[in-house]
Amino acid sequence: MDHTTLDHLIDAYLDGDIAEAELESLQQMLMSDAEAKARFWEAVRLHGAMRELCLTRQGMDAMRSQMQMAMPAQRSSRWRIGAAMAAAAAIVLAVGVMFYTLNGPPSGPQVVSSTAPAAVAMLTDQNSAVWADRQSPATGQSLNPGRLKLTSGTAQLMFADGAVVTLYGPAELKLDQTNLATLTAGTLTAWVPEQAHGFTVQTPRATIVDLGTEFGLRIAPDGTGQVHVFDGQVRVTLNEVGHSPLTQILLAGQSAALASTQTHTLVDLGPTSQQQFVGWRTQQLDVVDLVAGGVGTTQAAKRGINPSSGQLTASTAARPTTNMSAPVFSRVDDPMIDGVFVPDGPTPIDSTGHTFSGFPNTAGNMLGAIWTWRPGQGRFVAGPVDKVCPEQRGVIYMHANAGVTIDLNAVRQAHPGWLPSRLRLVCANIENVDGIDPRDNQRVAADLWVIVDGQARFKRTDVNSRDGVFEVDVELTGADRFLTLAATDAGNSFNYDWLAFGDPVMEMISYSGQNAASQQDQQE
């Protein structure tokens, strides 16, 4: 199989700009080659989470504009979420393999009855999802008609016709057909591409039909609820027993309440937006605090971790040195910290076995503990500390060669309802030798790494004290598990290689439908 050609066709389709002849070639590959089908499925699975991430970014954009913060100027074409989701649904149907064939028989307990004739949707993403009634659907699993009960967290479904629904727990959703679902209680948002227009959500008292739109729906246990239209329009029909059907078209920016049976009316709730409906909120966690033994909010500091052993120390005089024969990942007695290591070529960097191969060969040399510091606690090392601590939050000092991995699952558990969305900090080599080793007049420098689940998301090599302070800005998602910070020598010995990670913050976002519901209830 020609991977280059196949990958090109998959990328073109997910970008939404594939030519008709290319589409035919892709369909032929998928129908005739099991490996190609599996490769395509992996691309679909990875892109399944993108729609929710896109929505998260929209919320963060709005909040960052208020904080006068800019988003990156460019995006990869692979993040064209609308086209990707529509393409995935269309081609899955076009090649006649459906979700079940692509993914194979689902593992673990079945979500719905195995007697259902065919899958109608696919679970494309879930964040901190807790399911009721012993349900345990896996991301990427095909879903037959039946009920889903989400106790908490969020889950994203892609229906076979292309509609993408995000469910916010607690919620109960019945999957009826490839373009039909019933929301018994809870909150959802739906994005419907052109080929899925007519997607319908039924509730105990109303039917909501998409007319080319993006909308939100919240249903209370008594059947009352709210419809919010973010883009396009929907047709809402009240169809309660004892009343004639009442139909109304809602346009973008409009919202209405599904009133009680006695009134049988749609009540105007005024202007709406997706951010208001979902309940975007943000907070910043202090990463110095996370590394120092806190949960991101407790202002802990003045603690060191030996990167070669994981041993904790409270003494700045502790300057462990080592020359390790082979890289080892060491666990740390701290729930927020997965572990530490001395990078040297291919190195294990977390407890699940991710190995990062991008580190230079360092001979296992290291000097000093990974140390946390805050202004007013005395000077730990020489150098322009104030320049890397402009917000006076604190600093994580790391001398080459060392690395520390934060457990993002533990962070989420410590802050229920919140998801990591970004890491921001400033960094510099703070040695005071003006970039030159006074012993041999050779340039000295270090490398900075930010790694997520074994993949580098930011690196800057050959960082010299003459280079000054630079910014690090790394996007995170709710699906990320481990965040790793590392410092390595730049191939010119590990002398004078103190990196300072200054004012590090982890931006967290909450978009819980339950939070939004409680806020709206208070407003009403």
**pLDDT tens by residue, 182-222:** 999 989 999 998 888 999 999 988 999 999 889 999 998 87
In terms of pLDDT, which residue wins out, 60 or 271?
271
Query: Could you tell me which of 434, 515, 423 has the C-alpha nearest to residue 476?
Result: 423
Please name the residue that has the structure tokens 């978009």.
Answer: 511
304 vs 101: CA distance, rounded Å: 52
CA angle 249, 251, 255 (to 5 degrees): 90
Note the pLDDT of residue 118.
76
Interval 92-125: pLDDT, tens: 434 333 333 333 333 333 343 334 357 899 898 8
* 75 three-class SS: coil
Phi then psi for 83, rounded to 5 degrees?
-65, -40
Rounded to the nearest integer, the mean pLDDT of the chain is 77
CA angle 522, 190, 420 (to 5 degrees): 70
**From-to residues of CATH 2.60.120.1060 in the chain:** 282-510
The mean pLDDT value for 353-373 works out to: 91
CATH of domain 103-278: 2.60.120.1440
What contacts 24+ positions apart, CB below 8 Å, involve 130-133?
130/169
* Residue 254: pLDDT over 50: yes
Q: Are residues 475 and 508 in contact, defined by beta-carbon separation less than 8 angstroms? A: no
The mean pLDDT value for 15-38 works out to: 75
CA angle 281, 283, 287 (to 5 degrees): 155
Tell me the residue ranges of DSSP E strands in 206-305.
206-219, 225-238, 246-251, 255-258, 266-268, 281-286, 304-305
| DSSP H or E stretch at residue 28 | helix 20-32
For residue 485, what are its two tokens? 């910070």
For residue 10, what are its two tokens? 């998959």
Query: Could you tell me which of 476, 471, 501, 473 has the C-alpha nearest to residue 486?
Result: 501
Label residue 252 exposed, middle or buried (CB < 10 Å: 0-12, 13-18, 19+).
middle
**Number of alpha carbons in the 13 Å side-chain half-sphere of residue 134:** 4
CA dihedral 383, 388, 391, 392 (to 10 degrees): -30
282-510 architecture in CATH? Answer: Sandwich (2.60)
Residue 122: which region, alpha, beta or left (left: phi > 0; alpha: psi -120 to 50)?
A: beta
Identify the weakest region by mean pLDDT among 283-297, 469-483, 489-503: 489-503
340 vs 333: CA distance, rounded Å: 11
- What per-residue string of b and e applies to 367-402 under the rule 16 or more CB within 10 Å gives b? bbbbbbbbeeeeebbebebeebbeeebbbbbbbbbb
Interval 436-462: pLDDT, tens: 666 666 777 899 999 999 999 999 999
Query: Could you tell me which of 447, 444, 431, 425 has the C-alpha nearest to residue 288?
Result: 425
Note the pLDDT of residue 329.
96
Question: Which of 38-47, 253-262, 381-390, 485-494 shows the highest mean pLDDT?
Answer: 485-494
**In which band, very low, low, confident or very high, does the pLDDT at 67 lie, cut at 50, 70 and 90?**
very low
Note the pLDDT of residue 359.
96
The mean pLDDT value for 456-482 works out to: 89
Q: What is the pTM of this model?
A: 0.54
Residue at 396: amino acid letter: I
Q: Are residues 334 and 320 in contact, defined by beta-carbon separation less than 8 angstroms? A: no
**In which band, very low, low, confident or very high, does the pLDDT at 464 lie, cut at 50, 70 and 90?**
confident
369 vs 399: CA distance, rounded Å: 8
Identify the weakest region by mean pLDDT among 361-375, 408-422, 431-445, 491-505: 431-445
508 vs 524: CA distance, rounded Å: 28
Other Cβ atoms less than 10 A from the Cβ of 150: the count is 25
DSSP 517: H
Q: What percentage of residues in the chain have a pLDDT greater than 90?
A: 36
Q: List C-alpha distances in Å: 259 to 160, 205, 263, 272, 493.
A: 32, 9, 6, 18, 72
Question: Which of 277-281, 301-305, 489-493 shows the highest mean pLDDT?
Answer: 301-305
